[in-house]
Amino acid sequence: MNGKQGLFVTGTDTGVGKTVIAGALVAALRAEGGNVGVWKPVQTGGLPGDGTTDAELLLKYTGMDSYAEDIASFTFEAPLAPMLAAKQAGLNITLQDILSAGESIRNRYDSVFIEGAGGVAVPITEDASTADLIAELQTSVLIVARSGLGTINHTLLTMEYLERRGISILGFILNDGLSGELCLDPSVETNGRIIEQYSGIPCLGHFPELAGEIDSKRLIHAVQATINLSPVRDALTIRKMEEYR
């Protein structure tokens, strides 16, 4: 990270809410006065223009004054793992290509959240996975996981994979916003505690379901109400605005 502070946001699977939670955390820290940005090294499943790509959503959620092309270094239309999506587009990107492409956005801010694509074992190039990118960036990891049944297994396996690679895990956040029927799943009440018990890694909170239009103001409020930001601030050496006064 060239001396910069960073935090990599990964998921236990695709579609677990990495984008909205990464955007919400960045928005909350920026609202406190932090010079924090966000980077999406590779995104797949669409092209910029209709407002639905991860980069466009991150700009909307964070309120950053930037362009989608700055946030996402590589974008591929096919809804596939980055390595396969790139091949389908006729490209063969390397890990160094990704690192070089992200230098501009990483150098623009004091701290940068990096949002991965899918989980940590997803192939992003012919010879590198998301975990390899994290190792090169030398950042800690924040894991986003589902709240309901099955998340214990998925989350513990993700943690074990990262730990075997010597990658530091800051904590995990459980996303309650993936199902309108979580109240019918009794495991939601205990999953976080059990994952903590077996891993020794802290749960930083349950991110709530947000119905209707989502904007940065609602996301900031949700983070302030449900997420323990202190470990994130400490990892990024960010102090709340009032601490400067």
Catalytic residues: 40
Q: Is the Cβ–Cβ distance between 29 and 36 less than 8 Å?
A: yes
Whether residue 184 is predicted with pLDDT greater than 80 in this model: the reply is no
Residue 180: the pLDDT is 55
The CATH number of whichever domain residue 25 belongs to comes to 3.40.50.300
Asked whether residue 185 is marked as a ligand-binding residue, the answer is no
The pLDDT of 152-176, averaged and rounded, is: 97
Residue 55: the pLDDT is 96
Whether residue 241 is predicted with pLDDT greater than 70 in this model: the reply is no
Asked whether residue 19 is marked as a ligand-binding residue, the answer is yes
For 52-98, the pLDDT digits (tens) are 999 999 999 999 988 999 999 999 999 999 999 999 999 999 999 99
Residue 89: the pLDDT is 95
Partners of residue 38 on adjacent β-strands: 113
Cβ-Cβ contacts under 8 Å for 111 (sequence gap 6 or more): 4, 5, 6, 7, 29, 34, 35, 36, 37, 236, 237, 238
Residue 243: the pLDDT is 46
Give the range of the structural domain holding residue 50, as residue numbers without chain letter: 5-244
Classify 146 as helix, strand or coil: strand
Tell me the pLDDT of the chain averaged across its residues. Answer: 92
Asked whether residue 116 is marked as a ligand-binding residue, the answer is yes
Whether residue 151 is predicted with pLDDT greater than 60 in this model: the reply is yes
Asked whether residue 3 is marked as a ligand-binding residue, the answer is no
The β-bridge relationship of strands 36-44 and 72-76 is parallel
Calpha distance 7→27 (Å, rounded): 14
Q: How confident is the model at residue 219 (pLDDT cuts 50, 70, 90)?
A: very high
Number of other CB atoms surrounding residue 168 within 10 Å: 14
Model pTM?
0.94
DSSP structure class, residue 172: E
Classify 128 as helix, strand or coil: strand
How many domains does one find in the chain? 1
